[in-house]
Amino acid sequence: MRTDAPWLDPRLRAAWASEDWAGVFRHYRRAAGGIPQTELGLLIGMPQSHVSLIECGRRRITEQAVIRRITEGLRVPPELLGLPTTSTEIAWSPDPELTERVARAHARGRPDTRDAEWIARVLAEHRRAEDSGSGVGMWPVVRQQLDVVTRLLPGCSGETADRLLLLAAEHAHWLSWVAHGEGRLGPALAWLNCAQGWAMDAHSRDMASWCTRVRSYYQLQTGDPVRALRTAADASWYAHELSPAAASIARHTEAMAAACVGERDRARILAEQAYTDALRAPEEGERPGWLYWLSPTRARALMGEAAHAARDWATAADALAQVVDELAEEYPRDAAFYRVRLEDARRRL
Q: Which tens digits make up the pLDDT trace of 153-179?
A: 877 788 888 999 999 999 999 999 999
The pLDDT score that the predictor gives to residue 114 is: 79
Task: Tell me how far apart the alpha carbons of residues 149 and 64 are, in angstroms, rounded to a whole number.
Answer: 28
The pLDDT score that the predictor gives to residue 1 is: 39
pLDDT digits (tens, 9 = 90+) for 234-246: 999 888 899 999 9
| Position 348 pLDDT exceeds 80 | yes
Fold of 5-76: 434 Repressor (Amino-terminal Domain) (1.10.260)
What values do phi and psi take at 67, rounded to 5?
Answer: -60, -40
The pLDDT score that the predictor gives to residue 183 is: 93
The DSSP secondary structure of 220-289, one letter per residue, reads: HHTT-HHHHHHHHHHHHTTGGGS-HHHHHHHHHHHHHHHHHTT-HHHHHHHHHHHHHHHHT--SGGGS-G
The pLDDT score that the predictor gives to residue 154 is: 79
pLDDT digits (tens, 9 = 90+) for 55-95: 999 999 988 899 999 999 999 988 888 775 544 567 888 88
Task: Tell me how far apart the alpha carbons of residues 146 and 151 are, in angstroms, rounded to a whole number.
Answer: 9
Task: Give the residue extent of every domain in the chain.
Answer: 5-76, 78-83+92-200
The pLDDT score that the predictor gives to residue 158 is: 84
Task: Tell me how far apart the alpha carbons of residues 40 and 49 are, in angstroms, rounded to a whole number.
Answer: 11
Q: Answer whether 45's CB lies under 8 Å from 160's CB.
A: no
- Strand, helix or coil for residue 161: helix
Better-predicted residue by pLDDT, 115 or 57 = 57
Q: Of the candidates 129, 22, 121, 43, which has an alpha carbon nearest to the alpha carbon of residue 79? A: 121
Better-predicted residue by pLDDT, 96 or 77 = 77
> What does pLDDT average to over the chain?
90
